[in-house]
Amino acid sequence: MLTGIDPVLSGELLLHLDAMGHSDAVVIADAHFPAARLGERVVVLPTLSTPEVLRAVRTVIPLDDEPVLDLMTSADGTVLDVQRELIAAAGTTEDAVRFVDRFAYYDEAATAFLIIRTGETRKYGNVTLRKGLVLPGA
């Protein structure tokens, strides 16, 4: 265990997050997401929700320029509670979010540096963020 590191962030996960470069994407996905099919690097955190994992990831990863988050568009186009929780966990607003059609989201997720599959069971509980610059003194 490390001091000052959120306990959600395992050593394996920290290794991958550290290896990411500027603008590399990480998908934090729900339990329904086809992570094994789409991802080259997959970390599974089956007991955690996507907002919990996003909140922890944001403690070590700055967000890139807008849009700062991608969310999968729900079937009826409404913003769901889990998506509102993800926006809050990222520390941003809905204005900085890009909503992406389900199959386009899958296509983009396949190019992500890392996919983290969680135990989130609510539908459309998926989020993509891109790593911003880590500046000295940050």
DSSP-assigned letters across all residues of the chain = --TTS-TTS-HHHHHHHHH--TT-EEEEE-TTS-HHHH-SSEEEETTS-HHHHHHHHTTT--B-SSS-EEEEPPTTSPPPHHHHHHHHHHT--GGGEEEE-HHHHHHHHTT-SEEEEE---STT--EEEEB----TT-
Residue pair 23/113 in contact by the 8 Å Cβ criterion: no
Mean pLDDT computed over every residue of the chain: 95
Least trusted range by pLDDT, from 41-50, 60-69, 75-84 = 60-69
Q: Which two tokens stand for residue 108?
A: 């983009």
Q: How many domains does the chain have?
A: 1
Provide the CATH number for the domain around residue 54. 3.40.1650.10
Active site annotation includes 32: no
Give pLDDT, residue 1: 66
**Catalytic, out of 10, 22, 34, 75:** 22
Domain annotation covers residue 12: no
Has residue 2 got a pLDDT over 80?
no
Instruction: Report the distance separating Cα 91 and Cα 58, nearest Å.
Output: 8
> Which among 131, 125, 130 has a CA at the least distance from the CA of 72?
125
Write the pLDDT tens digit of every residue in 53-66: 999 999 999 999 87
Give pLDDT, residue 138: 64
Domain annotation covers residue 138: no
Domain region containing 64: 23-130
Has residue 75 got a pLDDT over 90?
yes
